[in-house]
Structure 1
Amino acid sequence: MKSCPRCEASIDDEARYCAECGAPQTEAAAEELDEYVQRQAQQVAADAGTGGSAGDGGSDDGLSPTEALSDREQLWRRGCYVLGYGTTVVAITQIPRIGAFPLVLAGVAILPPVRRLTAEPLGSPLKREAMAGIYAVFALIGAALLFLL
């Protein structure tokens, strides 16, 4: 019987892993463990990347979390957040007026997480142009109602 170099527990001479601490006892076992850990990490990253839908575990455009966003994409996403939250805040300040409700919808429609949330029922995320179009329609309706009524 030999002892584990990590925990000093007694193990069989032919054991690949320590029964007490799980440390690999041979080079082949260590390589097998490394490969297993890498596969698990890739699976977790892929699951986090989809977030249960076709999103980016942060990215709304189908990118995995490890893929870097281009400067243009980062600018688009930041602009959508600013525009969406700004429109929603302005709309909430006008809430007693009827035109505020389409403005709230416009603000919510342009937010990047909405792309990820709509991806599952629609089968794929909305294109940026579609998001901008939905925003424009609701914003124009809301602004017209605010100024006309």
Structure 2
Amino acid sequence: MKTCPRCDSSLDDDARFCVECGAPQTEDAAEELDEYVQRQAQQVAAESGGAGGGTAGGTDGSGGGSGFVPTEELTDREQLWRRGCYVLGYGTIVVALTRVPQIGAFPLILGGIAILPPIRRLTAEPLGSPLKREVMAGLYAAFALLGVALLVFL
């Protein structure tokens, strides 16, 4: 008798998977489990991406289509852009929320929301295609400048 390395339950010597926790006990069983999980993930991605009726992503890599774009399919530059947009957007929103009684906070909140990558996907459905990164960055810049000007001069 051997024991499972994950849950320490007793197993038969020829067991491929643990009867208690399901952990694979051999390399072949681990590879089989990995292949099964990958097939299931591809099936789920195909079902969710196929229903949207758009391209998965876009040339700018911000997940602009209706489909799901796994992070590992994006280039390093596209991942950096997406992460930067999240940091800039949420950072702007947090700063604006600390200034909420002032009128300049509201354009800052709108600018922070405009730069977030999910907003591009939300605009894709009514517009027929997602807005380009440059458009979203321009909207952010316009709202941020307006908000800062209102905060400084009012």
Do Structure 1 and Structure 2 share a fold, with TM-score over 0.5? yes
Q: Which residue of 2 aligns with 1:145?
A: 150
Shift of 1:65: 3.3
1:114 equivalent to 2:119? Answer yes
Distance 2:110 2:78 in 1: 23
Q: 2:134 aligns with which of 118, 129, 135?
A: 129
Distance in 2, Cα, partners of 1:95 & 1:43: 45
How far apart are residue 118 of structure 1 and its match? 0.6
- CA–CA separation in structure 2 for the residues paired with 1:42 and 1:121: 27
TM-score by length of structure 2 reads 0.62
TM-score normalised by the chain length of structure 1: 0.64
**CA distance in 2 between partners of 1:127 and 1:118 (Å):** 11
Q: Does 1:49 align with 2:54?
A: no
**Secondary structure at the counterpart of residue 138 of structure 1:** helix
Rate the CA distance shift 1:50–1:61 in 2: closer, same or farther, 3 A. farther
RMSD: 2.7
| CA drift at 1:82 | 0.1
Query: Based on CA coordinates, which of the two structures has the bigger radius of gyration?
Result: 1
Kept in 1: contact 2:64–2:124 (CA 8 A): no
Paired residue for 1:73?
A: 78
Structure 1 gap ranges (5+): 1-37
Q: Aligned partners of 1:95 and 1:115: how far apart in 2?
A: 25
Is residue 2:91 matched to residue 1:86?
yes
Deviation of 1:64 (Å): 4.7
Match of 2:103 among 98, 121, 131: 98
Counterpart of 2:100 in 1: which secondary structure?
coil
1:140 to 1:50, Cα distance in 2 relative to 1, 3 A: farther
Specify the alignment match of 1:12 in structure 2.
Answer: none
The amino acid that maps onto 2:108 is L
Superposition deviation, residue 60 in structure 1: 1.8
**How far apart are the structure 2 equivalents of 1:141 and 1:113?**
23
C-alpha separation between the residues in 1 aligned to 2:48 and 2:98? 36
Misfit runs of 4+, over 6 Å: none
